[in-house]
Amino acid sequence: MSTAEAVIAETAAEGQARQRRLILVLLLTIASLLIFWGSASAFYYHSPTGMFADLARWVGDIAAALVTFDGGFLQWLGRIGIAVIRVAPLFSAIFIVGVALRLRNWLVREHPRPASANPLFDRHFRGIFSELVIFTLLAAFLWWITGNTVENLHRLKGDQVVGFDFLSSTAGFGINQILFIDYAETSSYATAIMVGLINTLVLSFAGIVLATIIGFIIGIMRLSHNWVISKLAAGYVEFFRNVPLLLQIFVWYNAVLKPLPRPRQSIAVADSIFINNRGVYAPKPLFTDAWWFVVAAFIFGIVASWFIARWAHRRQMETGQPFPVLTTALALIFGLPLLTYGLVHLLAGPPVHFDYPVLRGFNYQGGMRIIPEFIAMLLALSIYTGAFIGEIVRAGIQAVPHGQTEAALALGLTRGQMLRLVIIPQAMRVIIPPLTSQYLNLTKNSSLAVAIAYPDLVAVGGIVINQSGHELEVFAIWMLIYLSLSLATSAFMNWYNAKMKLVER
């Protein structure tokens, strides 16, 4: 029935009932807004007009934060964050009005004929009505908890309540793994948190790569027809995924620390790599300007391989003649730089020098160093996650019907071609989505590093909380960073998934 017909068919009694319902909606909306307003004023602003004064100030704050890009990226982000969070509850008022409008529209257009004169017995009306009530209560609750927090912070800390300005104060503490950026005790809290973030990223990245390798090996081992190999893989999976990760971290940390000697009795490999209970020390390469020729050759190799692969693919499509792409690419990517290296060495002397670690005083100085905490974390995370990935890989391969194998072989593909062109692409479709969650898990699990003194984001943030007393702010930074890391990882994996998915025509 169209709207026009409905309106025409309306009786006088129905019209009255409709009128009553609309008046009720109006009253409800006003009541909801009053509760919302009242709770906001009572719990948060302490005056009925405070909301508007604050709103004006927040807009000013956001503008100021955008204009004065002064202290550090985190601080700047934090200021905008605070302003947005403060304005956010106001959106709930808009939402209340929105629900009310929707209710009105719906009553007038789609449901003009009341099922009953009493709106409370009208199923649809009740549904939307309860939505309004629940939302109003939720808004009041939000005002209450934020108001409560602000109030308590005020009482404890006085006027300088919450804010990210502390991030520019001097950190004052040391960190034992600093990568890519400069950090000293005189640096700011913001820099310290960046150091922690980089440590988390490095650990997660290395963990993801290693866990994927372990997982694929284990997954394929489990499908082996060799009884010993498949049972070995099954045992690995059952053991490592059923023992709590934190326990594994402690075990690995002790397993790494205990058997290793003191620095003065280090295990030396070829007199350049030293292993002791302070970590692994290796020579650090120092590059001369001539080194860039080698890098250029490497990049050229990659680009050239890509073009060759494209050309070979096209030629094979047209003429059916295959081309040895893999060997050519390997030769270009690795052979060419090696050749350049040799040439540079002959013409301009060695393009790379090494800074060897030397035992001085308590420990080795110079060179590159991997701290034992990193090794323990990497082992624990990748072995634990590897067990899960192993199962995912097994499931993915088993999900490809056997008929595909038979068909591929019947077409005359070699076993390698069959795997590469038929089985793996189909298995990947099943593997990628759960693999994404494992990558996310690994990243988040890396926060357990705090247990063994690996200075990751959580460990460093914890120190900052304790030394500065700004826990809400650091918690906000933690959540924001982990959220962005997870979203970035899943965005990448979604892109990869879309690429790998069967193209349906």
Strands (E), 218-318: 267-269, 273-276, 279-282, 284-287
* 196 within 8 A of 463, measured Cβ to Cβ: no
Q: Find the binder of other proteins among 72, 89, 114, 147 (CB under 8 A).
A: 147
Q: Find the binder of other proteins among 17, 18, 21, 39 (CB under 8 A).
A: 39
| Residue 454 DSSP SS3 | coil
Tracing tokens 């009694």 back to the chain, one arrives at 13
C-beta contacts of 73-76 below 8 A and 24+ residues apart: 73/190, 74/164, 74/167, 74/190, 74/193, 74/194, 74/477, 75/164, 75/165, 75/167, 75/168, 75/190
Q: Which is nearer to other proteins, 153 or 343 (CB)?
A: 153
Question: What part of residues 311-340 is at the interface with other proteins (CB under 8 A)?
Answer: none
Question: What part of residues 236-255 is at the interface with other proteins (CB under 8 A)?
Answer: 254
Tracing tokens 């019209």 back to the chain, one arrives at 15
Size of the site for other proteins (CB under 8 A): 59
Q: Which residues contact 433 (CB under 8 A, 6 or more apart)?
A: 493, 497
**Contact between 471 and other proteins (CB under 8 A)?**
yes
Torsion angles phi and psi, residue 404, rounded to 5:
-65, -45
**Taking the complex as a whole, how short is the minimal distance between the CB of residue 174 and other proteins, in angstroms?**
4
Q: Find the binder of other proteins among 123, 155, 225, 402 (CB under 8 A).
A: 155
Q: Which is nearer to other proteins, 442 or 463 (CB)?
A: 463
What does 9-23 look like in DSSP terms, one character per residue?
A: H--HHHHHHHHHHHH
Report the distance separating Cα 371 and Cα 484, nearest Å.
27
**Contact between 71 and other proteins (CB under 8 A)?**
no
Residue of 131, 115, 133, 129 whose CA lies nearest to 18: 115
Residue of 96, 206, 178 whose CA lies nearest to 143: 96
Q: Which is nearer to other proteins, 139 or 211 (CB)?
A: 139
Q: Find the binder of other proteins among 7, 9, 31, 115 (CB under 8 A).
A: 31
Q: Find the binder of other proteins among 42, 93, 325, 395 (CB under 8 A).
A: 42
**Taking the complex as a whole, how short is the minimal distance between the CB of residue 229 and other proteins, in angstroms?**
36
Question: What part of residues 405-464 is at the interface with other proteins (CB under 8 A)?
Answer: 450-453, 455, 459, 462-463
Q: Both tokens of residue 343?
A: 């040439």
CB atoms within 10 A of CB 89: 18
Q: Find the binder of other proteins among 3, 116, 160, 484 (CB under 8 A).
A: 160
**Contact between 225 and other proteins (CB under 8 A)?**
no
**Contact between 465 and other proteins (CB under 8 A)?**
yes
| Residue 27 DSSP SS3 | helix
| Residue 193 DSSP SS3 | helix
**Contact between 121 and other proteins (CB under 8 A)?**
no
**Contact between 467 and other proteins (CB under 8 A)?**
yes
End-to-end CA distance of the chain: 40
Q: Which is nearer to other proteins, 363 or 486 (CB)?
A: 363
Q: Which is nearer to other proteins, 422 or 449 (CB)?
A: 449
**Contact between 301 and other proteins (CB under 8 A)?**
no
**Contact between 105 and other proteins (CB under 8 A)?**
no
- How far, rounded to the nearest angstrom, does the alpha carbon of residue 398 sit from its chain's CA centroid? 29
Q: Which is nearer to other proteins, 158 or 416 (CB)?
A: 158
Q: Find the binder of other proteins among 110, 131, 165, 185 (CB under 8 A).
A: 185
Q: Which is nearer to other proteins, 90 or 343 (CB)?
A: 90
**Taking the complex as a whole, how short is the minimal distance between the CB of residue 285 and other proteins, in angstroms?**
22
Residue 256 one-letter amino acid = V
Q: Cα dist. 357→156, 272, 313, 351 in Å?
A: 50, 7, 48, 20
Q: Which is nearer to other proteins, 312 or 451 (CB)?
A: 451
Which residues are near other proteins by CB under 8 A?
Answer: 24, 31, 35, 38-39, 42-43, 120, 133, 136-137, 140-141, 144, 147-148, 151-153, 155-158, 160, 172-176, 184-186, 254, 257-258, 262, 277-278, 360-363, 365, 372-373, 450-453, 455, 459, 462-463, 465-469, 471
